[in-house]
């Protein structure tokens, strides 16, 4: 009876505590609970044992009916929801959402800023599990972004290619490669391979593009630039700024260079190759190439070659040379031409005999009145030719004149002195093709006069040249008439022959 009384007394005390106490303290010393805690458990040799349950899923609402939001349990991992660990309800009593408290280490744990261990590359990763980009920042500024489709952007939050680097610095990407002290093998600093398993129009391993929307002063925009520096090359060594090889069938392009310029171009260059040699003495031909197929830069001297091509070189547009051509190292002499020696053999220089490149004769089509000191061109006796420096032009002119003061086709009792020439670009020939004649019918002497002139002209510079048969009045008491059509006895003519030495 005594034990039963004590039980009812304790029950009353505990009931009063539950109903009226603001907080509860559990400890072996009777110390009041901390005012900030609803439940203060204070032991030095005991812990708090959270209820152990076997949750069936993350939305389990049956194992614990109507679980309160933030309810904490230890899931044993044997009911269906794994792994085992502490879980809390992040949902509502009617729609639970059991979320695991993440441990600092182990499978499914937090990613630590001091390093992580015990990971599995098949299950542990840094990234997202949904269709959201991954952004990486320093100093709270985004530096890199991995899009949900896998594209990577550095200083670019919307990369359209697999890897995109945007920067105002120079260079955007720098790769250093240090070879071992001993040689004997081929060493590659950076290698880009493109394996093609289907038919495509173009397969590009490396593409360099420079684009500018504003004007630059003294611009130099380079898509791809290669340097090879060897201050002390070994005997027989070679330094290549770029080495490009294309092989196989169909169309295989080792280097494709395109230069666009939207304005007043200074220099738009697809490929600029330069080779220099700072060694004293006779430079080794192996610095650029021992087989000089092409020399394309003013720095190329005595066997230091800017371009080395093994195989055919195809040019579909103009090819400009600012230096000499040197098959087998021979630049030839002025006036020589290259002559083919057949397939597989370098061409050789040969002297070229003069060859006629143009010849034609011209006849006047109507009369010309010789009544002015200004040179007048005979209609039909004019031609414009595009010539090269060194071309030689032979010109002949002929015709007749008649004393005719009013130029009506009948003779008059006057005398007239006249000049006749073949002009080149409106000026006299430097050598011949000029004469003076006269007609005199004032006293019934000579009403008609025939003229014939010839001259030689050597073209000083390449360009366009106009040749004309002309007459002008030099003096006298009256005028004269010349030229005419093919029914006239006065018809004039001009013959031009051009030969190239």
Ordered by start, the domain boundaries in the chain are 24-100, 134-165, 268-320, 355-500
User: Rounded CA gap, 199 and 190, in Å?
Assistant: 26
Which class for 404: exposed (0-12), middle (13-18), buried (19 or more C-beta within 10 A)?
buried
Give me the CATH code for the 355-500 domain, please: 2.60.120.760
Which strand (E) or helix (H) includes residue 141? strand 141-146
Instruction: List per-residue pLDDT tens for the chain, 501 residues long.
Output: 444 444 444 444 444 444 456 789 999 998 999 999 989 999 999 999 999 999 999 999 999 999 999 999 999 999 999 889 999 999 999 999 999 987 655 555 677 788 887 778 887 888 888 899 999 999 999 999 999 999 999 999 999 988 888 877 666 676 665 655 555 555 666 666 656 555 555 556 666 665 555 555 555 556 566 665 555 544 555 555 566 555 554 555 555 555 555 555 444 555 555 545 444 444 333 333 333 333 344 343 344 455 566 667 777 778 888 788 888 888 888 878 887 878 888 888 876 666 788 999 999 999 999 999 999 999 999 999 999 888 899 999 999 999 999 999 889 999 999 999 999 999 999 989 999 999 988 766 778 899 999 999 999 999 999 999 999 999 999 999 999 998 998 999 999 999 887
**Residue 184 buriedness (CB in 10 A; 0-12 / 13-18 / 19+):** exposed
pLDDT at 333 (0 to 100): 83
Q: Which residue has 């993440």 as its token pair?
A: 102
Using alpha carbons, list the distances in angstroms from residue 151 to 147, 200, 461. 5, 22, 58
Q: Give the helix/strand (H/E) hosting 3.
A: helix 2-20
CA separation for the pair 453, 191 (Å, rounded): 73
Task: Report the DSSP beta bridge partners of residue 349.
Answer: 338
What pLDDT sits at residue 93? 95
- Residue 360 to residue 312: CA distance in whole angstroms: 41
Task: Report pLDDT for 485.
Answer: 92
Pair of tokens at residue 175: 């790769």
Supply the DSSP symbol for 307. B
**Which 8-state DSSP code applies to residue 297?**
S
Tell me the backbone φ, ψ of residue 436, rounded to 5 degrees: -125, 135
Main-chain phi, psi angles of 72, to 5 degrees = -105, 130
């Amino acid at each position: 009876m005594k034990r039963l009384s004590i039980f009812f007394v304790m029950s009353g005390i505990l009931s009063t505590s539950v109903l009226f106490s603001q907080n509860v303290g559990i400890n072996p010393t009777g110390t009041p609970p901390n005012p900030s805690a609803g439940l203060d458990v204070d032991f030095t040799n005991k812990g708090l044992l959270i209820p152990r349950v076997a949750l069936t899923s993350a939305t389990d609402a049956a194992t614990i009916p109507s679980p309160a939001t933030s309810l904490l349990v230890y899931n044993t991992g044997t009911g269906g929801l794994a792994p085992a660990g502490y879980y809390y309800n992040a949902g509502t009593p009617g729609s639970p959402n059991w979320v695991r408290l993440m441990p600092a280490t182990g499978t499914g744990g937090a990613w630590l800023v001091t390093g992580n261990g015990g990971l599995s590359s098949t299950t542990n990763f840094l990234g997202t599990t949904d269709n959201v980009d991954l952004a990486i920042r320093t100093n709270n500024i985004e530096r890199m972004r991995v899009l949900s489709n896998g594209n990577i952007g550095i200083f670019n939050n919307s990369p359209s290619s697999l890897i995109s680097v945007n920067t105002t610095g120079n260079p955007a990407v720098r790769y250093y490669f240090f070879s071992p002290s001993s040689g004997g093998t081929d060493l590659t600093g950076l290698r880009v391979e493109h394996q093609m398993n289907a038919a495509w129009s173009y397969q590009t391993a490396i593409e360099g593009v420079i684009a500018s929307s504003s004007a630059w002063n003294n611009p130099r925009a380079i898509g791809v630039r290669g340097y090879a520096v060897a201050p002390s090359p070994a005997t027989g060594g070679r330094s290549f700024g770029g080495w490009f090889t294309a092989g196989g069938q169909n169309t295989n392009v080792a280097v494709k260079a395109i230069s666009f310029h939207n304005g007043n171009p200074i220099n738009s260059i697809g490929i600029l190759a330069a080779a220099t040699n700072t060694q004293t003495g006779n430079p080794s031909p192996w610095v650029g190439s021992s087989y000089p197929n092409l020399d394309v830069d003013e720095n190329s001297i005595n066997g230091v070659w800017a371009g080395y091509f093994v195989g055919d070189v195809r040019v579909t547009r103009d090819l400009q040379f600012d230096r000499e051509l040197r098959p087998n190292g021979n630049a030839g002499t002025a006036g020589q031409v290259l002559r083919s020696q057949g397939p597989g053999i370098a061409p050789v220089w040969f002297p070229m005999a003069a060859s006629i490149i143009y010849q034609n004769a011209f006849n006047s089509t109507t009369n010309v009145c010789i009544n002015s000191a200004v040179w007048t061109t005979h209609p039909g006796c004019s031609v414009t030719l595009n010539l090269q420096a060194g071309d030689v032009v032979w010109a002949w002119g002929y015709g007749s004149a008649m004393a005719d003061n009013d130029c009506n086709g009948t003779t008059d009792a006057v005398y007239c002195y006249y000049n006749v020439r073949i002009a080149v670009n409106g000026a006299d020939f430097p050598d011949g093709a000029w004469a003076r004649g006269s007609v005199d019918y004032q006293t019934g002497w000579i009403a008609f006069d025939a003229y014939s002139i010839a001259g030689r002209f050597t073209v000083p510079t390449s360009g366009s040249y106009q040749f004309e048969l002309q007459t002008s009045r030099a003096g006298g008491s009256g005028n004269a008439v010349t030229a005419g059509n093919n029914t006239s006895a006065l018809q004039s003519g001009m013959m031009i022959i051009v030969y190239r030495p």
